[in-house]
Amino acid sequence: MRVQVVHSGNAWILRRLAGYLVDGLPYVHGSPWRPSAVRSFDLTYFVNFQLCRRPRAPLRRKLLWRRPRSRLSGAFFPHREPDDPEFDSIARRMDFCVAPSARYADYIRERLNPNAHLIYHGIELERFTPKLRLGFVGRRYATGRKGDELLRAVSELPYVELLCTDGKLSDAEIPGFYQQIDYVLITSSIEGGPLCFQEGLLSGKEIISTDVGMVPEFRGAPGVHIYRDQNELFSLLRRKLDERMQLRASVQRFSVQYWVEEHDKLFRRLLLG
């Protein structure tokens, strides 16, 4: 099979999606901006459909339509603007269409072109990994009452990003700090409050704390998590990470490999039957 993927040449998401196919399938050739004028292919795939339209102004000369020298032509249709005549007209003249959501795949299939296929965007999974952003508010003291050793242990967890004020923020900057974190982490062994317990809850942030100061008086309150030692803390953090991993799981299968494999299946089905 000989397939060319026509792409914009720009380093944006559509170029990246096209690149996955060029790099992942040995029979795919990448053609920036428009189809090859010197090589013929079995199939030409435009990523996206706007590379198929005739420009309306001289500044769009790079998008000049050139009918590909291939048996089949198709395009990727990310979304449709309201009353977009180009989306509809181009979808009608393609041999096949691909959309990244059922909304547009169904629209094309039911109204414009029966040969429409759903393939979700492929994502580089390793670039998007859940982490817990924990915020420590306060200074360190020579007595160690702030729990320096525990803080150090938490900072070494691969799924944790620990942000510390260390007494370096002004009063005006403190409210913004709470908005940057997911949880307020308290590791102290002695506290009068601490003040960050109240500030964190007022900011809508959950608290992960030792049994210190005023904290046990709010045991059982929403968002208040009390631990006794490092093992309990790590177990709690792991549960919080697992909650985020559940969110990830709903779309985790839509990897770059998925994107490449689904297109490979489609190309083979279209060309080989």
Same domain, 63 and 172: no
Same domain, 110 and 191: no
Which pLDDT score is estimated for 38? 80
Count: domains in the chain: 2
Same domain, 48 and 139: no
**Four-residue CA torsion sign, 132, 216, 200, 147:** negative
Same domain, 157 and 81: no
Domain holding 41: CATH number? 3.40.50
| pLDDT tens, per residue, the chain with 273 residues | 999 999 988 768 999 999 999 999 999 999 998 898 888 999 999 999 998 875 554 444 444 456 778 999 999 999 999 988 899 999 999 999 999 999 999 999 999 999 999 999 999 999 999 999 999 999 888 787 888 999 999 999 999 999 999 989 999 999 999 999 999 999 998 999 999 999 999 999 999 999 999 999 999 999 999 999 999 999 999 999 999 999 999 999 999 999 999 999 999 999 998
- Tokens representing residue 266 in the block: 């489609």
Domain holding 154: CATH number? 3.40.50.2000
Q: Specify the residue for token string 């096209």.
A: 18
Same domain, 260 and 212: no
Q: Which residues pair with 5 in a beta bridge?
A: 30, 45
Same domain, 142 and 76: no
Look at strands 28-32 and 3-7 and give their pairing. parallel
Same domain, 42 and 84: yes
Four-point Cα dihedral 78, 82, 84, 87, nearest 10: 20
182, 162 Cβ separation under 8 angstroms = no
Same domain, 190 and 233: yes
Same domain, 147 and 106: no
Give pLDDT tens digits for 18-44: 999 999 999 999 999 889 888 899 999
Same domain, 105 and 191: no
Same domain, 241 and 258: no
Which domain range does residue 26 map to?
A: 3-123+252-272
74, 116 Cβ separation under 8 angstroms = no
Same domain, 165 and 241: yes
